[in-house]
């Protein structure tokens, strides 16, 4: 699987978020069997009037709709920021196999930074790879929040 | 606020789930200002082909749509089962003030049983009251899973 390619695709989504006045976080879900993108999105908190509409939640929703399946086995998630606890648990609920994320989230990261949610029992545990294209992913966010001040 | 009344409403939703072949968990979101129900639902995992479609997530989504607001301040959630980590984090994201839940979930409860998610920093922390109509809420689930065997 071409990790760099799919991280670029997630970054493309994050850049689209910027143009739409959303926090620049992008995500892409890929089918492990054929390396094709199933769904992609960015944060839609403002557009959907709902603070739970993180990029990962949208990508999961779109993929479930497309596959008409409650589980998303044999897929990999590429996301520009470390998923929060909500998204980490959602990723586990739908049985996504692998997570590749960009920047670490010191405040709300649910995989490594703020908490390690998969250390608890009774979770389906995906493989996790952090720090992909980290600098580009984190600069996008830092610049966005600097501009907001 | 009439806690028993709204727990009965959440139980009504859980019973509707049974008829729809979904896991019998129901939730109701109430406006703290006027004690009116904003949204109610049950688990829609099978109907929506999506393992993240817990009753709490649906209730949040419907309420955000109704209010056209990304936050749900000044509301109380009544739910028949202790929210999982995903739902607990989602409830925090949208700033729901109070959670009243029925049965404790030893395996996946994110508030008291499996983990105490709000013990971490950087969460908006709602007030939590567990064990409301506990016996009725847990029997509904136990009987459902016994029937599934």
Distance (Å) of CA B35 to CA A31, A127, B38, B69, B93: 46, 45, 9, 19, 22
| Average confidence score pLDDT of chain A | 96
Q: How near does any CA of chain B get to the CA of A134, in Å?
A: 22
Total H helices, total E strands in chain B: 4, 5
DSSP-derived secondary structure letter, A118: G
B44 interfacial to chain A (CB closer than 8 Å): no
Instruction: Say what the pTM is.
Output: 0.96
Query: What integer pLDDT is reported at residue A76 of this predicted model?
Result: 98
Whether A83 is in a domain gets the answer yes
Alpha-carbon distance of B77 to A46, in angstroms, equals: 23
A108-125 confidence digits (pLDDT tens): 999 999 999 999 888 999
Whether B62 is in a domain gets the answer yes
CATH number of the domain residue B120 falls in: 3.40.140.10
Q: Where are the alpha helices (DSSP H) in chain A?
A: 3-19, 55-67, 85-93, 134-148
Whether A148 is in a domain gets the answer no
Whether A149 is in a domain gets the answer no
Q: For A44, which residue in chain B has the nearest alpha carbon?
A: B70
Structural domain tally of chain A? Answer: 1
Whether A147 is in a domain gets the answer no
Q: What is the ipTM of this complex?
A: 0.95
Whether B148 is in a domain gets the answer no
B59-118 confidence digits (pLDDT tens): 999 999 999 999 999 999 999 999 999 999 999 999 999 999 999 999 999 999 999 999
3-state secondary structure of B66: helix
3-state secondary structure of A84: strand
Alpha-carbon distance of A120 to A115, in angstroms, equals: 11
Whether A104 is in a domain gets the answer yes
Least confidently predicted of A52-56, A136-140, B51-55, B145-149:
B145-149
Which residues form the domain of B51? 1-137
CA neighbor of B82 nearest in space, from B48, B118, B51: B118
Look at B65 and A51 and tell me if their CB atoms are within 8 Å: no
Alpha-carbon distance of A29 to A139, in angstroms, equals: 23
Look at A50 and B67 and tell me if their CB atoms are within 8 Å: no
Q: Are A138 and A102 in contact (CB under 8 A)?
A: yes
In chain B, residues 93-112 whose CB comes closer than 8 Å to chain A: 93-95, 107-108, 110
Look at B90 and A52 and tell me if their CB atoms are within 8 Å: yes
Whether B99 is in a domain gets the answer yes
Tokens for A44? 């839609």
Q: For A70, which residue in chain B has the nearest alpha carbon?
A: B50
CA neighbor of A127 nearest in space, from A95, A84, A82, A97: A97
């Amino acid at each position: 699987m071409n990790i760099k390619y799919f991280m670029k695709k997630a970054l493309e989504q994050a850049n689209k978020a910027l143009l739409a006045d959303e926090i620049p976080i992008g995500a892409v879900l890929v089918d492990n069997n054929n390396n094709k993108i199933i769904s992609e999105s960015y944060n839609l908190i403002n557009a959907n009037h709902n603070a739970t509409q993180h990029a990962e939640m949208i990508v999961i929703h779109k993929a479930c709709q497309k596959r008409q399946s409650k589980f998303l086995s044999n897929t990999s998630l590429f996301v520009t920021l470390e998923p929060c606890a909500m998204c980490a648990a959602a990723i586990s609920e739908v049985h996504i196999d692998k997570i590749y994320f960009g920047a670490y989230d010191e405040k709300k990261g649910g995989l490594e930074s703020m908490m390690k949610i998969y250390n608890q029992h009774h979770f389906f545990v995906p493989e996790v790879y952090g720090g992909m294209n980290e600098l580009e992913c984190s600069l996008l966010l830092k610049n966005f929040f600097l501009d907001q001040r």
